[in-house]
Amino acid sequence: MGFARGSMTLPRMGAHRLVVAAAALTVAVAAALATALATLGGQTLPRAVQHDLATATGTALVISGNVNASQAAQYNSILPSQVRSALDGTPFAFYRALWSDPFGFVAGSLPATPASRGNHPIAEAASLGGLRTQAVLTSGRWPGAPSGSSAGQPIPAALPATAAVALHVTVGDVLRLRDQISGQYVRFAVTGLYRPRQLTSQYWGLDDIALSGSSTVAGFTTYGPLTVQSAAFAGPLAVNAGSWLAQPQTQSIPAGRLRAVAGQVTALEQAVASAQGLPDLMLATSLPSVLTGTASDLDLARSLLAICAVLLILLVGAALLAVARLLAGERENESAMLAARGASRWQQFTLAAAEAIPLCLVSAAAGGVAGVLLARTLVAGGTAVPAALRGAWPVAAAVAVAAVVIILIPALSVLTPGAARTWPSWCSPCSRAGNCGTTRRSRPGRTATSASTRWWWPRRLWPWPPAPSPRCACCRPAPRRVTGWPPAGGG
């Protein structure tokens, strides 16, 4: 016996269109929710991590300590490679600064000794790398290299505008200060005043003096810095300290490496604090805590998505199984009839697969597109639709395969003819033959060709002939007569 699936698939599906539509809708909704969760977990969550890291504060690595000129040169060469290794190859900007000996104020010379409120006032000079990109001049010009043609010439320097106000100096003033360590007098010519382009920039962690122009630590109030060219430290100024700042592009740190990078930065902090053959340095940063906290938030979000995914699998699986069982129940008599006419288990399975596979593939594809659009709606500025679809199609395919398997589970069981359910009385053989008083009624999908014998093959492929109904009077057995009753003589 052969089966032409092209001619039977659509009529079989059309005969139970409501149940088939329920199955298609269930698969589409499952694919939409699954792809939406996958898009949120695979693309939106990493973007959220990148946004949180990009807006986090205190992620710059600020390294400082007391060094001389040669030690500062060694740290200039080794620190960038150590920071690059700790950041796991993440791009970063690296800045360096050299700091002079502390200077005391000279009575009778500019600047006048400021009121210190019991603290000892001092000033410091520094060369800040990358300053011109992070600050803007309010007056004057940036300082040039000191002139080496004649000794005793003032060193060109620029001052923060806030420090100039505190010291009561302006552009063109010549400051005379005394080195607190060597005792020599040093003169500075104020060439310009500047202010930060962005107060919240992490670059200003390179400046040991507050942006207010002064800072008080351990009884000393430090003013400045008198910003000079680095060439000034090759001659008239001595190097007393150094500071280095590494500003990583935290949004470039992979989401799966957050805790690893945090551990490596902590290890770098310990390494510079116990350097071998060089002065110990101090590393200040909040990057490890930021990375660890972000990783914890990411794990929590992924756990919530995983819980939603498990619940979705259970609910959709149960719904699909219920629809599949309902469809199998509607076709119970049909399956029994096909088995009675010689259809094997495999033939009935392929017939069911010819319906289930296209149905699930089309529904899962439509649901996948809807899920990607849903994820983009929930998160503004998400990934472009083509890129999101490339990442979501494996999930939609998995949903389609799982749906096909669930729908085909009832098709693995083949009913025998005797297992079919009993037909109602109005379609029993005797009523169709006109042997009883039951009124024959038409039913959609049937065409009576004879009032006495049979109908055509039902459109719904119901089995022939159906079982007699016990409610039909002519189908029930005749009552047996008891002999000897009533007894003679009455009563």
Tens digit of each residue's pLDDT (9 = 90 or more) over 218-240: 889 999 999 999 999 988 899 99
SS3 474: helix
- The mean-pLDDT minimum among 78-92, 142-156, 296-310 falls in 142-156
Does 356 or 57 have the greater pLDDT score? 57
Same domain? For 63 and 123 the reply is yes
What are the tens digits of pLDDT across the range 49-61? 999 999 999 999 9
What are the tens digits of pLDDT across the range 381-408? 555 556 556 667 888 889 999 899 888 8
SS3 content of the chain, % helix, strand, coil (to 5): 50, 15, 35
458: left (phi over 0), alpha (psi -120 to 50) or beta: beta
Q: Indicate whether 29 belongs to any domain.
A: yes
Are the beta carbons of 282 and 67 closer than 8 angstroms?
no
Same domain? For 178 and 327 the reply is no
What count of Cα atoms within 13 Å lies in the side-chain half-sphere of residue 224?
29
Using the predicted structure, report yes or no on whether residue 294 has a pLDDT greater than 60: yes
Are the beta carbons of 143 and 232 closer than 8 angstroms?
no
| pLDDT bracket for residue 162 (50, 70, 90) | very high
Q: Indicate whether 17 belongs to any domain.
A: yes
- pLDDT, mean of residues 60-82: 95
Q: Indicate whether 490 belongs to any domain.
A: no
CA torsion angle for 418, 422, 427, 431 (degrees, to 10)? Answer: 80
Among 288, 308, 339, which residue terminates a domain? Answer: 288
Q: Indicate whether 488 belongs to any domain.
A: no
Using the predicted structure, report yes or no on whether residue 40 has a pLDDT greater than 90: no
Q: Indicate whether 491 belongs to any domain.
A: no
Same domain? For 100 and 246 the reply is yes
- For residues 421 and 390, what is the distance between their CA atoms, to the nearest angstrom? 48
Peptide bond into 417 cis (omega under 30): no
Same domain? For 254 and 327 the reply is no
Same domain? For 328 and 265 the reply is no
Same domain? For 269 and 384 the reply is no
SS3 137: strand
Helix intervals (H) in 117-184: 131-134, 161-167
Same domain? For 314 and 379 the reply is yes
Same domain? For 331 and 389 the reply is yes
Does 206 or 352 have the greater pLDDT score? 206
The residue count of the chain comes to: 491
What are the tens digits of pLDDT across the range 250-286? 999 999 999 999 999 999 999 999 988 889 999 999 9
Same domain? For 325 and 439 the reply is no
At 415 the pLDDT is: 54
Residue 333 lies in domain: 5-51+295-418
Using the predicted structure, report yes or no on whether residue 150 has a pLDDT greater than 80: no
Helix intervals (H) in 160-204: 161-167
Among 418, 445, 471, which residue terminates a domain? Answer: 418
Q: Indicate whether 486 belongs to any domain.
A: no
What are the tens digits of pLDDT across the range 414-458? 555 555 454 444 444 444 444 444 434 434 444 333 333 333 334
At 133 the pLDDT is: 95
Same domain? For 117 and 227 the reply is yes
At 8 the pLDDT is: 66
Q: Indicate whether 275 belongs to any domain.
A: yes
Computed on alpha carbons and rounded to an integer, the radius of gyration of the chain in Å comes to 44
- For residues 38 and 44, what is the distance between their CA atoms, to the nearest angstrom? 9
**Nearest partner of 246 among 68, 133, 85, 136, judged by Cα:** 85
What are the tens digits of pLDDT across the range 92-133? 999 999 999 999 999 889 898 888 777 899 999 999 999 999
Using the predicted structure, report yes or no on whether residue 481 has a pLDDT greater than 70: no
Q: Indicate whether 95 belongs to any domain.
A: yes
Same domain? For 166 and 267 the reply is yes
Quickly tell me which residue has 């629809």 as its tokens: 323
- For residues 372 and 31, what is the distance between their CA atoms, to the nearest angstrom? 10
Using the predicted structure, report yes or no on whether residue 296 has a pLDDT greater than 70: yes
Among 268, 288, 308, which residue terminates a domain? Answer: 288
What count of Cα atoms within 13 Å lies in the side-chain half-sphere of residue 255?
18
CA torsion angle for 124, 130, 133, 136 (degrees, to 10)? Answer: 10
Same domain? For 66 and 189 the reply is yes
Does 386 or 195 have the greater pLDDT score? 195
At 376 the pLDDT is: 76
The count of structural domains within the chain is 3
At 461 the pLDDT is: 42
CA geometry: angle at 224 spanning 223 and 229, to 5°? 150
Specify the amino acid at residue 29. V
Give Cβ neighbours of residue 148 (< 8 Å, ≥ 6 apart): 235
- For residues 47 and 40, what is the distance between their CA atoms, to the nearest angstrom? 10
Quickly tell me which residue has 């320097």 as its tokens: 157
